């Protein structure tokens, strides 16, 4: 296992800059997830780590070795691709042992290694088949097996689960997590699925337009996003951004929002609002913080109950999402399915702002940090 340091890496194609100075460093054995919308540069960064693309500037270190200009085969990295990229003309066993063969590992050792990996991934019965004869989930396992066989310093996963159906995806997600816990390997994992990111990562790097927007643990990113983009990207349904006016109240500062009637809610860090008195900002509030009135929370600090106008309800089984509109912004509330919210009617909701965050409306940055 080895640590990974990405030091001010830039990548240009002609005039366009795909990576604008990426700085990431993770410890040996850490599970790093790169998330971001398509075109954000996460795949380019992945390819740069693997050595499949040259970088224009900056350094990449694996352990203490500078590998910026090393060729892919000399970096000792294995990669699992979205399309699996299994060699169609080889059997599963040959696919798994190809990398060892290229590194001139003797035949007996190769066979033993195939054996070990096959057992670990429960694909022993598939070893003699060709990739075309496998199901999607089986191909996925073989692709992982091929990566595991070489015991490299680091694994790269490029959206490995996105070609699987929903049920299999959840299964494999758990399996990858178990493997990581068992083997303690360093993993860099690209995905656009934020649930995968939350469940698997030790640390998440949220990327956009060739820049890392935020690097942190899943919980940090969820609770404490640095800007509107990160806040909106992580979490499903996304965080609500409610337009609110900063008002002065009893010598402190609070926020006024236009629910069914104008409602003033408190804010955890009132002093940070001082500079914005009288202006409109965006209040960031996760859907689970707007619920039906809950007796045990009644009267606590940062809890306010107000009426809202229900636009649509979306039952999801465990919860029901109630949609309302505050000024022009759509707001999701996560309610108990038993709560009798009906479209077109007004109903009471409890706003818990103890974990609320605030963003500048113009530049999207946090103002309460």
Partner 1 sequence: MNKNAANAGSGATPAGRPARLSLADWMPKIVMAPTVIAAIVCIYGYMIWTAVLSFTNSRMLPTYKFVGFDQYERLFMNDRWMVALSNLGIFGGLFILICLFLGVMLAIFLDQKIRAEGAIRTIYLYPMAISFIVTGTAWKWLLNPTNGIEKMMIELGFEDFRFNWLSDPDMVVYCLVIAAVWQASGFVMALFLAGLRGVDSEMIKAAQLDGASTITTYRRIILPSLKPVFFSALVILSHIAIKSFDLVAALTNGGPGYSSDLPANFMYAHAFTRSQIGLGAASAMVMLGCVLAILIPYLYSELRGERHE
Partner 2 sequence: MSNVAKRQTSTLDKVLRIALYVCLFGMAAVYLAPFLVMLLTSLKDVEEIRSGTLLSLPSSLNFDAWSKAWSGACTGSQCEGMAPYFFNSFQIVIPAVAISTLLGALNGYVISHWKFKGSDVFFAALLVGCFIPFQVILLPMARTLGWLGIANTTTGLVMVHVVYGVAFTTLFFRNFYQSIPVELVKAARLDGAGFFTIFYRIILPVSTPIIVVTVIWQFTQIWNDFLFGVAFSGFDTQPVTVALNNLVNTSFGGKEYNVDMAAAIIAALPTLVVYILAGKYFVRGLTAGAVKG
Q: Which residues bind partner 2 (CB under 8 A)?
A: 47, 50, 52, 71-73, 77-79, 81-85, 87-89, 98-99, 102-103, 146, 150
With CB under 8 A as the contact rule, which of the stretches 31-39, 69-77, 261-269, 285-293 interacts with partner 1?
A: 69-77
By CB under 8 A, residue 66 contacts partner 1:
yes
Q: Rule CB under 8 A: choose which of 1, 28, 70, 195 binds partner 1.
A: 70
Is residue 79 within 8 A of residue 156, CB to CB? The reply is yes
Distance CA 315, CA 83 (A): 35
- As beta bridge partners, residue 263 has 257
Binding flags for partner 1, 257-276, as an x/- string (CB under 8 A):
--------------------
With CB under 8 A as the contact rule, which of the stretches 8-16, 64-72, 203-211, 212-220 interacts with partner 1?
A: 64-72
Query: Of the two residues 113 and 196, which places its CB atom closer to partner 1 in the complex?
Result: 113
Measure the CA dihedral 299/301/303/306, to 10°. 70
With CB under 8 A as the contact rule, which of the stretches 58-66, 274-282, 292-300, 336-344 interacts with partner 1?
A: 58-66
**Of these partners, partner 1, partner 2, none, which one is at the site of residue 216 (CB under 5 to 8 Å by kind)?**
none
Q: Rule CB under 8 A: choose which of 3, 23, 68, 272 binds partner 1.
A: 68
Query: Of the two residues 159 and 352, which places its CB atom closer to partner 2 in the complex?
Result: 159
Handedness of CA 20, 159, 131, 118 (dihedral sign): positive
Is residue 325 within 8 A of residue 257, CB to CB? The reply is no
By CB under 8 A, residue 71 contacts partner 1:
yes
Measure the CA dihedral 36/38/39/44, to 10°. 70
CA distances (Å), 280 to each of 241, 250, 276, 327, in order?
A: 12, 19, 8, 12
Q: Rule CB under 8 A: choose which of 5, 23, 65, 199 binds partner 1.
A: 65
At 102, is the secondary structure helix, strand, or coil? helix
Query: Of the two residues 50 and 357, which places its CB atom closer to partner 1 in the complex?
Result: 50
- As beta bridge partners, residue 103 has none
Is residue 79 within 8 A of residue 50, CB to CB? The reply is yes
Query: Which residues of the chain form contacts with partner 1 (CB under 8 A)?
Result: 54, 62, 65-71, 74-76, 103, 153
């Amino acid at each position: 296992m080895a640590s990974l340091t990405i030091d001010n890496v830039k990548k240009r194609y002609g005039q366009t800059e795909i990576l604008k100075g990426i700085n990431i460093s993770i410890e040996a054995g850490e599970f790093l997830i790169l998330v971001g919308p398509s075109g954000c540069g996460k795949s380019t960064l992945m390819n740069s780590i693997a050595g499949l693309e040259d970088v224009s500037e900056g350094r990449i270190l694996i352990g203490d070795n500078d590998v910026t200009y090393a060729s892919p085969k000399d970096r000792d990295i294995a990669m699992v691709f979205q399309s699996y990229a299994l060699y169609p003309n080889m059997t599963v066993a040959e696919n798994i042992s190809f990398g060892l063969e290229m590194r001139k590992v003797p035949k007996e050792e190769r066979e033993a290694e195939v054996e070990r990996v096959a057992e670990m991934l429960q694909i022993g019965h598939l070893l003699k088949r060709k990739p075309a004869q496998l199901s999607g989930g089986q191909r996925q396992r073989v692709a992982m097996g091929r990566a595991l066989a070489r015991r490299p310093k680091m694994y790269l996963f490029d959206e490995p689960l996105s070609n699987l159906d929903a049920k299999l995806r959840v299964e494999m997600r758990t399996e990858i997590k178990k493997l990581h816990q068992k083997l303690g390997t360093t993993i860099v994992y690209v995905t656009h699925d934020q649930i995968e990111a939350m469940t698997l990562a030790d640390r998440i790097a949220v990327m956009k337009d060739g820049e890392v927007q935020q690097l942190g643990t899943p919980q940090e990113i969820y609770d404490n996003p640095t800007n509107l983009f990160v806040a909106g990207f992580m979490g499903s349904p996304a965080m609500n951004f409610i337009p609110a006016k900063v008002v002065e109240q009893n010598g402190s500062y609070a926020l006024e929002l236009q629910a069914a009637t104008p409602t003033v809610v408190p804010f955890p860090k009132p002093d940070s609002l001082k500079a914005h008195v009288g202006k409109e900002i965006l209040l960031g509030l996760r859907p689970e913080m707007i619920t039906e009135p809950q007796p045990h929370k009644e009267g606590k600090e940062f809890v306010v109950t107000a009426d809202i106008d229900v636009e649509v309800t979306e039952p999801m089984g465990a919860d029901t999402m109630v949609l309302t509109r505050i000024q022009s912004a759509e707001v999701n509330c996560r309610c108990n399915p038993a709560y009798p919210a009906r479209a077109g009617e007004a109903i009471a909701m409890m706003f818990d702002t103890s974990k609320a965050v605030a963003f500048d409306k113009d530049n999207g940055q946090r103002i309460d940090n």
